[in-house]
Amino acid sequence: MTQNPIRTRIAPSPTGIAHVGTAWMSMFDLALARQTGGQFVVRIEDTDRTRFVEGAEEKIYEAFEWLGIDYDEGVQKGGPYGPYKQSERLNIYREYIDQLLTTGHAYHCFCTPERLTKMREAQKKAGELPRYDRHCRNLTKEEVGQMLNSGTPYVVRLKMPDEGVIGWEDAIRGHVEFDVKNVDDGVLLKSDGFPTYHFAVVVDDHLMKITHVLRGEEWISSTPKHLLLYQAFKWQPPVFAHMPLIRNADKSKLSKRKNDVSILSYREKGYLPEALLNFIALLGWSHPNREEIFSFDEFLKIMSLDRIQKTGPVFDTKKLDWMNGVYIRNLSRQELVKRLEPYLPADFPRERMDILLPLVLERLVTLKDIEELTAFFYRPIEVTAQVLSRKNTPEVAATQLSETISALEKNQSWQASELEVLIRQLQEKHEYKKSQYFMMIRVALTGKEATPPLFDTMSALGKELTLERLKHAQHLLSSAKTV
């Protein structure tokens, strides 16, 4: 049986960063659309002017482009159902607000913010659920007309039924229903003339012919209002699929106040877009073959809503780090060098890339790590006698270095394999403790205790710089033992 083309949408708000949750939802939206020959729409919900951030919309498009998430219709691409920015659709919303007022499914509310605040405080004090008390619901036409003519500020509210149950079949959660007596007469049009999310989303989804709405589970309690609006307009509602909330390891909600949830921040840190996509695809969804590493194209083909779990997935950055490392090492050398270029510092010796990259490749977690992992090859290092003699006395450590320098100065070859033979022979001849001796040399040459293989490092540093650093370390130890 051929399925009708599915139209999905993502509707981010330009209120700051481009959120990883937006990318996560978009992947599933795009997969549903592509699998059925449908369309994926990007709509900008910018009606909350108090939270609007200049330039935030451009960040959303930039993030999508970096990740490789394509879409079919939107502000930048156009399409048959525009405008795709809510602030440019105010006349459309006004038309449908008037329709609801005419049919009696909505009403004007002239309550002041002060009255509403006192009302909610009284309800809380009485142990009641804070909600509008419907004070303006039964105003006569004459009373409403007088208030409007006098210029009294107002909002428009949805007139919820007094009783009954409203439910739907959620594509992820099955049957869900609410008693309407627990649903507030929500605001549809604010006093500034802008629609609320609850009203605009219904009008836009209908007019843009959206067939499937994927959104976070926090919107479940709002769905009855949306369904009541569909009923009021006599429109067919879309299929709803409420995704689980992404959570931290402590099960708290992933939020920009506590976490790094900016898509572009992960680019700055040196994560690969394909690794990030792979990682977030597995948040709440599993591959049919339980595979961990797979391409975005494969995900688009095999994603199915029935494999989405209801419990909130954990945003495990350790797994992301592992996955990013796998993707880095799967790149061709040419492609990896190309990807590394934006993260290379100005003083990085690019002519030595063929020597340095193989030494640190296995330790690269992000592309940005290249600087920290290679800096000691081309920048001065800092070492102290205390660290150099951590497992020995300064006198003994200085003697060890003296013997090592003497042997290396006589050595003609500087190949890693031959350096290893020479150093190991020294260690065995003088019965130096392996862990102490090799670590001392490592620290003397790099200033670090964790580095690429020691003898490869010595070879890459070259004879002159190796001896220079060993002599400096010996001097530090000699000075320390005389104190």
CATH, domain range 385-482: 1.10.10.350
Task: Locate CATH 1.10.1160.10 in the chain.
Answer: 263-376
Task: State the pLDDT at residue 254.
Answer: 78
Task: State the pLDDT at residue 50.
Answer: 80
Active-site annotation holder among 77, 209, 253, 256: 256
Reply yes or no on whether 256 is catalytic.
Answer: yes
Task: State the pLDDT at residue 257.
Answer: 59
Task: Locate CATH 1.10.10.350 in the chain.
Answer: 385-482
Task: State the pLDDT at residue 256.
Answer: 61
Task: Locate CATH 3.40.50.620 in the chain.
Answer: 89-243
441 touches 408 (CB < 8 A): no
Task: State the pLDDT at residue 482.
Answer: 56
Reported CATH class of domain 89-243? alpha beta
CATH, domain range 263-376: 1.10.1160.10
What's the whole-model pTM score?
Answer: 0.91
**Can you give the pLDDT of all 483 residues of the chain as single tens digits?**
457 999 999 999 998 888 999 999 999 999 999 999 999 999 999 988 788 889 999 999 999 999 999 999 999 999 999 999 999 999 999 999 999 999 999 999 999 999 999 999 999 999 988 899 999 999 999 999 999 999 999 999 999 998 999 999 999 999 999 998 888 999 999 999 999 999 999 999 999 999 999 999 999 999 999 999 999 999 999 999 999 999 887 778 876 655 678 999 999 999 999 999 999 999 999 999 999 999 999 999 999 999 999 999 999 999 999 999 999 999 999 999 999 999 999 999 999 999 999 999 999 999 999 999 999 999 999 999 999 998 889 999 999 999 999 999 999 889 999 999 999 999 999 999 999 999 999 999 999 999 999 999 999 999 999 999 999 999 999 998 655
Task: State the pLDDT at residue 251.
Answer: 76
